Structures are given as C-alpha cells and as structure tokens.
C-alpha cells in the first residue's frame, strides 16, 4: 500500500478509522488507500494518499500503543500541512462538505497561502499553496 520511496510517513490516531478515511477522501480529495480490519471486522489501520503520492497512515485509538485520538475540546499536539495547487478551491470544497474551517485562506509570512481546518474528530489540518 505505501510507496517504498516515501521516507517519512505521518501516523494519525482516530476513533473511527472508516469514517475518517471516507471524510479525508470526500472533503480533502485524497485518494483512498484502504481500510484493514482484524478478524472480527474492526478497522485497525487505514491509509489515504495525498495528491503528491505520499501516504498518511490512520491508526486506531490505542492508548496501549501511546496513540490517542484528538478531542474537540482538548489541545492537539500535532497537525498535518498539505500543499495543494489551489488552496482557495480546496477550502471551498472542504467547506461545502461540512468541514469545520478554523480560518479561511490567508497569506502567511512563511510563504504559504493557507487555511486551517478540523476533521470530524478534531484533528488539525492546514492546507496551503506556495505564494
């Protein structure tokens, strides 16, 4: 599933892997990478593919592995930045699909025109285009 040329793979923990996988495909336009289940049909791993071909792994909420899902009202210690060709169109797509937008496309001093969003479990996403 994961391309062998990718040297860094982000892993994000979620409570509902199937739902977050489908959200990322629908709202952010990622390519589906599949959802793997255990013997009882419970999702344990999923993947989505960004537009540049890089893979993001989605891990089940598993405190025993040190992986906990983000919460809506709690701070999150990580976020993902995704660079796209047209940030304004991407934000419009995400908003039309019900994504929580923290701030709309804004030119940043570090060279991205970027917007901030949250997925259904409260994970932080930053999507931008190089200025």
Residue 72's pLDDT is 60
73 pLDDT band, cuts 50/70/90, is low
pLDDT confidence tier of residue 76, bands split at 50, 70 and 90: low
Task: Give the pair of three-digit tokens for residue 119.
Answer: 């997925």
In a domain, 74, yes or no: yes
Is residue 1 a part of any domain in this protein?
no
* HEC readout, 85-102: CCHHHHHHHHHHCCCEEE
Residue-number span of the structural domain to which 124 is assigned: 11-130
Task: Decide if 87 is inside a domain.
Answer: yes
Indicate whether 23 belongs to any domain.
yes
> Which residues make beta-bridge pairs with 89?
none
Q: In this predicted model, which residue has the larger pLDDT, 11 or 4?
A: 11
Number of domains the chain is built from = 1
**Is 4 inside any structural domain?**
no
* Per-residue confidence band for 79, with pLDDT thresholds at 50, 70 and 90: confident
Does residue 89 sit within a domain?
yes
> Does a structural domain hold residue 19?
yes
In this prediction, what percent of the chain has a pLDDT beyond 70?
A: 92
Mean of pLDDT values over 48-74: 83
What is the reported pLDDT for 51? 83
Residue 120's nearest CA partner among 18, 6, 19, 3 is: 19
Region 19-38: mean pLDDT is 96
Instruction: Please state, in angstroms and rounded to a whole number, the distance separating the CA atoms of residues 123 and 28.
Output: 13
Specify the CATH number for the domain of residue 111. Answer: 3.10.180.10
User: What confidence tens digit (pLDDT) does each residue in 80-120 have?
Assistant: 999 999 999 999 999 999 999 999 999 999 899 999 999 99
């Amino acid at each position: 599933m994961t391309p062998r040329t990718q040297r860094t793979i982000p892993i994000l923990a979620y409570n509902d892997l199937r739902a977050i996988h489908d959200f990322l495909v629908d709202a952010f336009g990622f390519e589906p990478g599949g959802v793997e289940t255990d013997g009882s049909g419970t999702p344990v791993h999923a993947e989505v593919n960004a537009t540049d071909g890089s893979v993001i792994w989605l891990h089940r909420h598993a405190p025993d592995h040190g992986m906990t899902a983000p919460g809506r009202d709690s701070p999150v210690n990580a976020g993902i930045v995704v660079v796209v060709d047209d940030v304004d169109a991407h934000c419009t797509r995400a908003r039309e699909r019900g994504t929580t937008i923290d701030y709309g496309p804004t030119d940043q001093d570090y060279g991205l025109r970027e917007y901030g969003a949250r997925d259904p479990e409260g994970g932080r996403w930053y999507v931008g285009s190089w200025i």
